[in-house]
Chains A and B, each alone.
Chain A
Amino acid sequence: MTQDNISNPTTFMLDNKIIPFSEGQTIIQAAMAAGEYIPHLCYNPEFKPHGSCKVCTVKANGRQAASCTQLAQADMVVESNTQQINDERRALLQMLFVEGNHFCPSCEKSGNCELQATAYALEMMSPHFDHFSPNRPLDASHPEYLLDFNRCILCSLCVRASRDVDGKNVFALSERGIKTQLIVNAKSGKLGDTDFSDQDKAAHVCPVGVIIKKRVGFTIPIGERAFDVNPISVSPHPVKKGA
């Protein structure tokens, strides 16, 4: 919190707690600054909000809103950690799990995966819905990185990072609705035919296990992975070993 905020305090209520905010802050920005966790996936404080995953949905003055895009307002009453909202969030997570192929038991991102950690935080016990079991081949054409599209949740963080930070536009979301998919911006569609590199921001921003640095695998022991150390509700964006 800056000196200006303290001298000119403005607040809203989040689950009966007083949350200070500054002009232009979204609900989730103000909540995180105050140490309050609102579950989310496509939001990353380093990037412009995208508002697509809807996991951060709250009720602001009785109306549903994505807390990553809804600006905080004075005296606003926000509900987040309620049975109804968490049930809806859990259903969103379950749909994400069944739309892709998320095999946590053999996924090297286990313990570092924000989808998995959020599912634990929201006590998701099963996928509930029928699995789509899509056929999504891996792209292993790049010498240093592998793309496992089976795990994509369409958060677009790699798209934003490559476009807005790296200036490369390596990734894009193609098609619409249920057919939306992550693609690679190369004539062949292969990562190996782009100028993607380990130095790119996009190489280190995937919240799940799509963009994988090759030959790292399971080198971080169980117990030392990011969400072994702290649950995502305590540390939503930890520095991940080996990432």
Chain B
Amino acid sequence: MTFALETAANPENLRRVAIDPVSRVEGHGKVTILLDDKNKVHQVRLHIVEFRGFEKFIQGRPYWEVPVMVQRLCGICPVSHHLAASKALDAIVGARHLTPTAEKMRRLMHYGQILQSHALHFFHLCSPDLLFGFDSDIAKRNIIGVAEKHPETAKRGVLLRKFGQEVIRHTAGKRIHGTGAVPGGVNKSLSIAERDELLKDVYQMVAWSRDAVHLVKQMHHQTPELYNSFGAFRANFMSMVGFDGGLDLYHGQLRARDESGNILFDGVDYQDYTQWIEEEVKNWSYMKFPYIRSLGNEKGWYRVGPLSRIQNCDFISTPLAEIERRDFIAYSGAMPMHAPLGYHWARMIEMLHAAEMIKDLLHDDDIMGKELMASGERGYEGVGVIEAPRGTLIHHYRVDENDLVTMCNLIVSTTHNNQAMNEAVRKVAQQYLHGHEVTEGLLNHIEVAVRAFDPCLSCATHALGKMPLQVEVLNEAGEQLSQLTRSSAGVVSTAV
């Protein structure tokens, strides 16, 4: 199955333009565009060119090591992998229900992660495009330029992220790659001093998060023709929602809607995710293409992340974020918002929700409790799902009787969005590049579309044993001695 503009009919006579690497995103990827001599676009692809292999080298390791090991997938959202793995492995130690302290400490860690990651994405990576213009002076189109022109905005971005990192440090032991969650619970609770240190700043964080929502909302209202149409395409969307239908980024059940907002499935126990989601491999990317099984790969692709979550849930439990969600829904009208730039607005609503949740949890004495661990009947398979900053994150493990991992499957947020991101860059290429002389400013439009999804390309390239691969052995002179090739069908051939 190929989509419009995915593969050119006669690529040999076309000119190739590459954006390599895509900048201001996490990880390494590139966009290639094939143009004819009239600058008409014939092919656009977002390629993920990193190669990681976590699914493979986790095999054979003891299960209790996994939540710490897998978070090395990422330096931006390690907490998401840490918690998704811990949730999956709770089933191995039979912890069907965590202690209140463990559940709330994990949630606190998670909301710290959402806050810092969303702040990083919006203020550090995207605000230069939104504040200065997509084709503004490239020398100023960065966070340093923001700090010079809008120092208060830049300062808030830095301090919001810092606060989120401090929440993570107090719950996981370190700002990056901590150890707080373990299968069955957590290894620490908050001390009074730690709680008070965070409480001191949390009200300011709530206020600044609310201001950030208003900043993006204002952009939508001021320039609707840009924000409503830039790279816009219609798609299904999926996320986890709470058991009550509310926004819940830590735990719940899966819900998907079609492009008109009609429910495709709801109340799905994520332990059964394989019954609902299938993954396809394409020979030009190390990232898989998931789709809703019942709709097939042509119509079943979908979008995850803030834009999906804010429109998929029935309500938000925290008051300020709920007011903003209602504004967002009212702005969109009868149909869901499909514009990629809407991600930023939704993302800031989630940041506000995370700040409010942190405030509430800091006022809950359970976070200083001493009952940290739960256990029960030993299990051998577990699935953990969490709503990571970029979207739904699925971890799935099998463990043998000797406690070693025998199978690992990871579907990360960016992988869910693979087809959607490709659609977005194709739309932007059609809207802005088609028939025009290519300039840096125009190419940045492509990157703006990719950035809206806040992709984590290093997270998304975890599989080993499934992707097309070519290994060349060269001598010191650079001459090829042998070559090993594995096709997308898994056929391995050797050339000497």
When the two chains form their complex, are residues A218 and B64 in contact, meaning their CB atoms are under 8 A apart? Answer: yes
When the two chains form their complex, are residues B402 and A217 in contact, meaning their CB atoms are under 8 A apart? Answer: no
The residue that A223 contacts in the complex, of B64, B93, B173, with Cβ under 8 A, is B173
Interface centre among A146, A212, A222 (most CB of B within 10 A): A222
CA distance A189 to B284 in the complex (A): 45
A71 at the interface (CB under 8 A from B): no
16 A-B residue pairings within 8 Å (CB atoms)? A105-B72, A105-B177, A106-B65, A106-B69, A138-B61, A138-B62, A138-B404, A140-B402, A140-B403, A140-B404, A146-B62, A217-B65, A218-B179, A218-B187, A221-B180, A222-B178
For the complex, would chain A's binding face be called helix, strand, loop or mixed by DSSP majority? Answer: loop
A62 at the interface (CB under 8 A from B): no
Q: A107-B65, A221-B188, A223-B173 are in contact. List 11 more A-B contacts (CB 8 A).
A: A103-B69, A105-B72, A106-B69, A138-B61, A140-B402, A215-B64, A215-B93, A217-B62, A218-B187, A221-B179, A221-B180
Seen from chain B, the residues whose Cβ lies within 8 Å of a Cβ on chain A are: 60-62, 64-65, 67-69, 72, 93, 172-174, 177-180, 182-183, 187-188, 373, 402-404
When the two chains form their complex, are residues B64 and A217 in contact, meaning their CB atoms are under 8 A apart? Answer: yes
Task: Quote the shortest CB–CB distance from B89 to chain A (angstroms).
Answer: 10
Interface centre among B60, B68, B174, B178 (most CB of A within 10 A): B68
When the two chains form their complex, are residues B183 and A217 in contact, meaning their CB atoms are under 8 A apart? Answer: yes
Task: Quote the shortest CB–CB distance from A144 to chain B (angstroms).
Answer: 10
When the two chains form their complex, are residues A106 and B68 in contact, meaning their CB atoms are under 8 A apart? Answer: yes
The residue that B174 contacts in the complex, of A215, A216, A219, A222, with Cβ under 8 A, is A222
Number of A residues, CB within 8 Å of B:
21
Which residues in A have their C-beta under 8 angstroms from that of B67? 218
CA distance A215 to B64 in the complex (A): 6
- Tell me the residues in window 102-136 of chain A with beta carbons closer than 8 Å to chain B beta carbons: 103, 105-108
Which residues in B have their C-beta under 8 angstroms from that of A223? 173
For the complex, would chain B's binding face be called helix, strand, loop or mixed by DSSP majority? Answer: loop
CA distance A116 to B187 in the complex (A): 22
When the two chains form their complex, are residues B60 and A219 in contact, meaning their CB atoms are under 8 A apart? Answer: no
Which residues in B have their C-beta under 8 angstroms from that of A217? 62, 64-65, 182-183
CA distance A93 to B67 in the complex (A): 28
Task: Quote the shortest CB–CB distance from B406 to chain A (angstroms).
Answer: 11
Task: Quote the shortest CB–CB distance from A68 to chain B (angstroms).
Answer: 32
A85 at the interface (CB under 8 A from B): no
Which residues in B have their C-beta under 8 angstroms from that of A146? 62, 403
Q: Enumerate the 8 nearest inter-chain pairs by beta-carbon distance, A residue then B residue, closest first.
A: A222-B173, A217-B64, A106-B69, A140-B402, A221-B188, A218-B179, A221-B187, A106-B68
CA distance A221 to B179 in the complex (A): 7
CA distance A146 to B65 in the complex (A): 12
A220 at the interface (CB under 8 A from B): yes
CA distance A141 to B404 in the complex (A): 10
Known contacts A138-B60, A140-B62, A221-B187: A214-B403 contact under CB 8 Å: yes
Which residues in A have their C-beta under 8 angstroms from that of B173? 221-223
Closest residue of B by beta carbon distance from A143 = B402
Task: Quote the shortest CB–CB distance from A16 to chain B (angstroms).
Answer: 39
When the two chains form their complex, are residues A108 and B65 in contact, meaning their CB atoms are under 8 A apart? Answer: yes
Which residues in A have their C-beta under 8 angstroms from that of B60? 137-138
Which residues in B have their C-beta under 8 angstroms from that of A221? 173, 179-180, 187-188
Task: Quote the shortest CB–CB distance from B185 to chain A (angstroms).
Answer: 9
Task: Quote the shortest CB–CB distance from B18 to chain A (angstroms).
Answer: 33
Task: Quote the shortest CB–CB distance from B339 to chain A (angstroms).
Answer: 39
Known contacts A141-B402, A219-B187, A222-B179: A212-B174 contact under CB 8 Å: no
Which residues in B have their C-beta under 8 angstroms from that of A103? 69
CA distance A146 to B180 in the complex (A): 23
CA distance A216 to B188 in the complex (A): 14
When the two chains form their complex, are residues B64 and A216 in contact, meaning their CB atoms are under 8 A apart? Answer: yes
When the two chains form their complex, are residues B404 and A219 in contact, meaning their CB atoms are under 8 A apart? Answer: no
- Tell me the residues in window 78-107 of chain A with beta carbons closer than 8 Å to chain B beta carbons: 103, 105-107
Which residues in A have their C-beta under 8 angstroms from that of B174? 222
Contact digits for A207-239, partner B, Cβ 8 Å, 1 yes 0 no: 000001011111111110000000000000000
CA distance A219 to B373 in the complex (A): 10
Task: Quote the shortest CB–CB distance from B385 to chain A (angstroms).
Answer: 22
CA distance A217 to B64 in the complex (A): 5
When the two chains form their complex, are residues A218 and B68 in contact, meaning their CB atoms are under 8 A apart? Answer: yes
CA distance A140 to B402 in the complex (A): 6
Task: Quote the shortest CB–CB distance from B400 to chain A (angstroms).
Answer: 8
CA distance A108 to B187 in the complex (A): 13
